[in-house]
Copies of this chain bind each other. A is one copy, B any other.
Amino acid sequence: MSDLLERLRSRGWRLTSQRRVVAEVLDGDHVHLTADEVHARAAERLPEISRATVYNTLGELVTLGEVLEVATDGRAKRYDPNAHQPHQHLVCSACGTIRDVRPTGDPLAALPAAERFGFDVATAEVTYRGLCPDCA
């Protein structure tokens, strides 16, 4: 789990207690937390941490490519620490639960040149939607 912190330090990241706590919260498990949830969990360990710092830190982790920003609905963005393994998301239409999934093949391959309109296409994000077992 300290892979993340080590990588960050070796990149010259200034390691403050706030940043360490945010990184630890995200490193815990493959959840998909909102900025506010990250703040809440971080505040359990470091009560005075401010929302602004959480937003700043999340933004940097995204820029560094260590965390993915996920907009599954129109509400708050969620942050996905599982950035090292390509994966897609399966979202419950009822309760909003998110699971990481790995479809077969490369989604990019499904877009033929004739459908690329001169774009230099780099990535494909897939969001599967349906009802989870609990909501069905």
Contact = CB atoms under 8 A, between A and B. Distances in A.
Interface in A85-122: 90, 92-93, 99, 101-105, 107-108, 110-112, 115-122
A111 B107 contact: no
Interface residues of A, number: 39
B118 A110 contact: no
A126 B107 contact: yes
Contacts of A105: 110
When all copies of this chain in the complex are counted, the total is: 2
A83 interface: no
Q: Which of A128, A129, A136 has the most CB of B within 10 A?
A: A128
A110 B107 contact: yes
Nearest to A104: B110
A65 interface: no
A131 interface: yes
B120 A108 contact: no
Interface of A: 69, 71, 73-74, 77, 90, 92-93, 99, 101-105, 107-108, 110-112, 115-133, 136
9 contacts: A102-B115, A104-B110, A107-B107, A118-B132, A121-B129, A121-B130, A125-B129, A126-B126, A127-B127
Given A103-B111, A103-B115, A107-B126, 6 more contacts: A71-B71, A102-B115, A103-B112, A119-B132, A120-B136, A124-B126
